[in-house]
Amino acid sequence: MARRKQIGRRVEGWKAKSWFKVYAPEVFDKAYLGDTVANEPEKVYGRVMQTTLGEISQDYSKQNIKMRFKITNVAGDAAYTDFVGHEVTKDYLRAMVKRRASRIDSILLLTTGDGKKLRVTATCFTINRADASQQHAIRKELTDYLIAKSKEQTYYQFVKDMVSGEISRDVFKNIKKIHPARRVELIKSKAIEASASTD
């Protein structure tokens, strides 16, 4: 009998919950991300939704880019998000790594023109092995370019160009003058909140 009462309470609790439709920021055309459930709107804030750029853009060649969005606003049964990071899948990265070639990483804390902070990992994959001086020059080019680019753009301008590949294509043109390069990717990013910017 006690067990039956417990189940009844669970059912009543579930019925009291509401479903909220979650949407991406305007820069991603407020694409529908999915649903989340809570018994009051305040409990939805801060939840993180994960999807792929392929799902958002309906371009399934971009399924290798995982996107993360945090709920920051609720209006009625709609929840709106901010972009908080992305990551290229490990399978994609493994396919990029070739024998007798170099992988050069640069991890940067960037500040956009509107004062937002973003930690970005940029990676260059070369056609053949680069020596130490060439790797240093490539890493410096990645660093200098991304710092300058982030300063001249707003947060969402930079995010859009980052995940679309536009930034990678632009810096690739400079890097291939240093050493034969196969690809440049911004493989990971994470938004840094103001309270955590010194971490």
User: What DSSP designation does 97 have?
Assistant: -
CATH superfamily of 90-196: Band 7 domain (3.30.479.30)
DSSP for 49-62? EEEEHHHHHT-GGG
Rounded to 5, what percent of the chain is helix, strand, coil?
A: 40, 35, 25
Neighbours of 94 (CB within 10 A): 8
pLDDT value of residue 17:
85
**pLDDT for residue 76:** 94
Instruction: Please report, in tens digits, the pLDDT of each residue of the chain (199 residues total).
Output: 444 444 444 555 555 789 999 999 999 999 999 999 999 999 999 999 999 999 999 998 999 999 999 999 999 999 999 999 999 999 999 999 888 999 999 999 999 999 999 999 999 999 999 999 999 999 999 999 999 999 999 999 999 999 999 999 999 999 999 999 999 999 999 999 864 443 4
Residue 198's pLDDT is 38
Q: In angstroms, rounded to a whole number, what is the distance separating the alpha carbons of residues 105 and 61?
A: 24
